[in-house]
Structure 1
Amino acid sequence: MTSRRSLPRSAAAVLGLSLTLTAVPAAADARPPAAPTAPTVSEQQVMPHLRALQRIADRNGGNRAHGTKGYAHSVSYVRSALDRAGFRTKLVPFTHDGATGYNLIADWPGGDPDHVLMTGAHLDSVKEGPGINDNGSGSVAVLAAALQVAESGLKPRRHLRFAWWGAEEQGLIGSADYVGKLSEADRRKIDVYLNFDQAGSKNTQQWFVVHDDEHGETEAQQAFEAWFAERDIPTFDIGVGGSDHESFGNAGIPSSGFSTGISDCIHEACDNLANVDPKTEKTSTDAIVGVLWKLAATAPRH
């Protein structure tokens, strides 16, 4: 935020095999279907979305901050892509610092509504710059993963929900507003929240995987660490705090996800397209897709 791939015999041998098979009870084949193989993305499936966010910032005073046209147009861009792909989307407004902000929520039809796998990222930037790595990179990685769900026609066991938060740079406002308005029953329906903040940092040497301090090593953390380990990519555990998953953790919702670390141009005008490494962005998106596929096909533990 993950399938594994017989020789001519004599007539007597074939007959013998046939007779043996007839003695096997039909129930022996009653196994759950294998999880579908997760697709991968290309840089060309991810980077155009980042270029679009850069153009939006360029046309709107150089940023995509809360309460600005730059943020409103960013939300509109992401929502249009999801609507075309078949998601059920809605804008959830809130007010902060005298301005209206918006969270974008997108649900993929199907899956158990009592067991939600939620994936998100904050979409807003600071007023000092376009926020292409912080956090256009995380937002676009989540968007590209969601579009892979649609393109693949994924039929998950868990219900898949995606979110893009507003006013997070003001102090995690959007995610806290969303979680705070959930009923206790709806909170319990969220099995895990996956968060991605700065997914395309240049000179990335390791991925920082979120460890849930309250719930311990969650199935999501294990899935991310396994995905990276299979590819010999180093990881480092970090606690829940400092990004959108903190709002979920404070509400007792298990969380994980990752970051590629703080870039040199954090919260500055130079946090533009040149501040993102396309290869890192692709790897992050593949990791999200791989873990989404694995968790979506996994029977809930409660």
Structure 2
Amino acid sequence: MRVRKFALAGVAVAVTATLTVSGSTYAGAAVAPVAVAPPVISSTAPMAHLTQLMSFASASNNTRVIGSAGFTSTVNYVKSQLTASGWTVTTQSFTTRGKTATNVIAEWPYGDATHVIMAGAHSDSVAAGPGINDNGSGVAALLANAAAISQSALRPAKRIRFGFWGAEEQGDVGSSYYVSHLAGGEAKKIDAYLNFDMVGNKAENGKAVGWSLYVEGQSNGLNAPFKSYFSAKGITVNASLDTDDRSDHAAFKNAGVKVTGVSSVRSLNELGACYHKACDNLSDVDSNSVTLASNAIANAVWSLAG
């Protein structure tokens, strides 16, 4: 998350009945769709990813900023995890401020490719620290969801696509590069973009973690599955976090895509004591927060992908 800026309900599964009589098979009417609930993601998955990201930063002068070995290791790790889970993975490399950065785009190869539900998180940190909450937490939550989708052999109605953006900390460069390089008409195929930036905050100063959703004015109703998830957990969320377009959703919004997102901050004035500092390491992350975010993402993606 930059200084200026501040995911599944039921899936319908069609079943066709068949009848075999004297060696002949007849197709019957489709049975009513069966609701498939999203799997429950435990803390083990996202925290394992965060531990890996921290190891990359530790071997790279405590940073995963673009141009560093820590960022390169992060990109390679994200690619390997997604590929192993059966996702179709592509990369985009670009240069900003004299340094090379990379976007990783992963697509679950099922569902209608003309109706895409996309979720994203930035994979870089600032130079000053390892960026485990900002934004290793978003990356870890999405990777946990990618594995859950694979393990469930999900066959959604819509296509699911994840983006892991480089150079967000330089001004949302990676997401802007992706959107600006979409072929003509491709942006219109994205029904929704969900952004996840800083979803691992710990309680500070005696205050509980303040969960927030992006403002309804730009979410266009996309906040409903997030609200239902947190409500079922007895958690009140701030449904009007005004990000002032200070994260990766901005490029999508400007291209006419409906956007929203979730963050474990109450407001832009409460980003955490270790925000953009060397202490944004594993001790700066609450495993409960990352786990809640991972499951909230699952609830939303499962629901919106139909």
1:196 aligns with 2:199: no
1:101 aligns with 2:101: yes
Give 1:145 shift. Answer: 0.7
Give 1:206 shift. Answer: 3.0
Distance 2:183 2:89 in 1: 20
Whether the aligned pair in 1 keeps the contact of 2:144 and 2:294 (CA below 8 Å) is yes
Whether the aligned pair in 2 keeps the contact of 1:212 and 1:254 (CA below 8 Å) is no
Give 1:178 shift. Answer: 0.4
1:67 is paired with a residue whose SS is coil
Give, as a single letter, the amino acid of the residue that structure 2 aligns with 1:230: A
Map of 1:36 onto structure 2: 36
1:253 aligns with 2:262: no
Whether the aligned pair in 2 keeps the contact of 1:212 and 1:255 (CA below 8 Å) is no
| Regions of 4+ moved over 6 Å | none
1:181 aligns with 2:184: no
Map of 1:278 onto structure 2: 287
Distance 1:52 1:126 in 2: 17
Give 1:211 shift. Answer: 2.5
Q: How does 1:1-302 map to 2 (within 5 A)?
A: 1=7, 2=9, 32-203=32-203, 204-211=208-215, 213-214=217-218, 217-218=220-221, 220-237=222-239, 238-239=241-242, 241-261=245-265, 262-297=271-306
Give, as a single letter, the amino acid of the residue that structure 1 aligns with 2:226: F
Whether the aligned pair in 1 keeps the contact of 2:220 and 2:259 (CA below 8 Å) is no
Give, as a single letter, the amino acid of the residue that structure 2 aligns with 1:223: P
Query: 281-290 vs 232-241, which deviates more?
Result: 232-241
- Aligned-residue sequence identity (percent) comes to 39
CA deviations on 1:231-257 (whole Å, 9 max, x unpaired) are 211111223521111111111110012
Give, as a single letter, the amino acid of the residue that structure 1 aligns with 2:39: P
Q: Which runs of 5+ in 1 are unaligned?
A: 4-26, 298-302
Compare CA radii of gyration and give the structure with the larger one: 1
Map of 1:21 onto structure 2: none
1:281 is paired with a residue whose SS is helix
Give 1:68 shift. Answer: 1.4
More helix by share: 1
Distance 2:34 2:274 in 1: 44
Q: Which runs of 5+ in 2 are unaligned?
A: 1-6, 11-27, 266-270
More strand by share: 2
Give 1:223 shift. Answer: 1.4
Distance change in 2, residues 1:132/1:184 (3 Å): same
CA deviations on 1:25-64 (whole Å, 9 max, x unpaired) are xx9x756513311111111121010000000000011100
Distance change in 2, residues 1:212/1:188 (3 Å): farther
Give the aligned length.
272
Map of 2:17 onto structure 1: none
TM-score, reference length from structure 1: 0.86
CA deviations on 1:200-228 (whole Å, 9 max, x unpaired) are 100143311113535x532x211111211
Give, as a single letter, the amino acid of the residue that structure 2 aligns with 1:258: V
C-alpha RMSD over aligned residues:
1.7
CA deviations on 1:176-220 (whole Å, 9 max, x unpaired) are 110111134100000000110001100143311113535x532x2
Map of 1:15 onto structure 2: none
1:199 is paired with a residue whose SS is coil
Whether the aligned pair in 2 keeps the contact of 1:211 and 1:217 (CA below 8 Å) is no
